[in-house]
Amino acid sequence: MAAETATNRLARLLTMVPWLVNRQGIALEEAADGLGVSVAQLEADLNLLFLCGYGQMPDELIEADWEEGRVFVGNADTISRPLRLGVDEAVTLIVGLRTLLDVPGLTDQGAIERALAKLESAAGTAAEPAARVSVDLAGRGVDDEVLSRARQGVQEDRRLHLTYHVPGRDESTERDVDPMRVIAADGHWYLEGWCHRAEGVRIFRLDRVEDLTVLDEDGTPPEGVAPRDIGESIFSPAEDDLLVTVRLLPGALWVSDYYPVESATDAEDGSRTITLRTADTAWIERLVLRMGGHAVVLSPQDLSERIVSRAMAALEPQTHDVD
């Protein structure tokens, strides 16, 4: 069974609390069935609620009791109240929903249109500023047909064949991918899925896809495989990515703040040793070369040797034939 992401569990908890608050004393089994989870999962979620609230004091935490087979949730009035949007929030949502309607390959437009109509009706004249805001989805370099086929593969659980350009190696690769989801982040569209070539979960920028074909093959990812919990960054590393150790001199300490690192150790001479994980070392090679000696790869050894070789090659005198 695929591991659940923290994002999915948080979304369920936010839905669960007001649902239970309005059904005080509901039987544990009935609550689990209504929420679409197992009894064991519901009990795990209720245990987690003890650590949730708007503060750290006992009277600021949510209370949950289900010892006698019936669920009671208290001290959750703040989270159980209906959401009230400010003008700025309402306008932002309206603009976002209108933008979604223009996304290629989106099949369930009816749900968006209904939500948009309700929001506009509730906001009334306060939503008028939304009419003066437009979002340009063009110019992102993604072919509409590629985006539409990627979404088709996700919705129909069909394997995709990609011709994908890898900028770090300036080459095109052929890959079969079992798609998991299509996401937008940092101004780009991405496809996440199980890559058979890499034998792992990979994220592909769709503007780098030169060709995409929907295959007549089952595209269900292997058992136990789940999308990455990307959090705030699309580049969140996976546990099976290569672990790299880098020593940063004082002029390069910003690297540890800019990139996600697993550990950072400061030395008395002002340097810092960091470890980070990556599925592709090409960007690390380019970064270290640009730092001009202020960053040194300590491990793995083969990566360090490749960087040294590239640096030495760049320093060799260039000769040109002159007619």
Domain locations in the chain as residue ranges: 6-80, 87-132, 144-218, 242-315
Q: According to the model, what pLDDT value does residue 202 have?
A: 87
Six-digit token pair at 58?
């006992």
Instruction: Give the CATH number of domain 144-218.
Output: 2.30.30
Reported CATH class of domain 6-80: mainly alpha
Alpha carbons 32 and 45: distance in angstroms, whole number: 11
Q: According to the model, what pLDDT value does residue 226 have?
A: 83
> Which H or E run includes 49?
helix 39-49
pTM over 0.85: no
Burial bucket for residue 126 (CB in 10 Å: 0-12, 13-18, 19+): middle
> Which ranges of 104-200 does DSSP label H, i.e. alpha helix?
109-123, 144-156
Task: For 178-191, write each residue's pLDDT tens digit.
Answer: 999 988 776 778 89
Q: According to the model, what pLDDT value does residue 175 have?
A: 93
Q: What type of residue sits at position 148?
A: S
Q: According to the model, what pLDDT value does residue 1 have?
A: 43
Q: According to the model, what pLDDT value does residue 105 have?
A: 55
pLDDT of 228 higher than 60 = yes
Q: According to the model, what pLDDT value does residue 139 have?
A: 43
What percentage of the chain carries pLDDT values higher than 70?
A: 80
pLDDT of 231 higher than 60 = no
Instruction: Return the percent helix, strand and coil in the chain, to nearest 5.
Output: 40, 25, 35
pLDDT of 9 higher than 90 = no
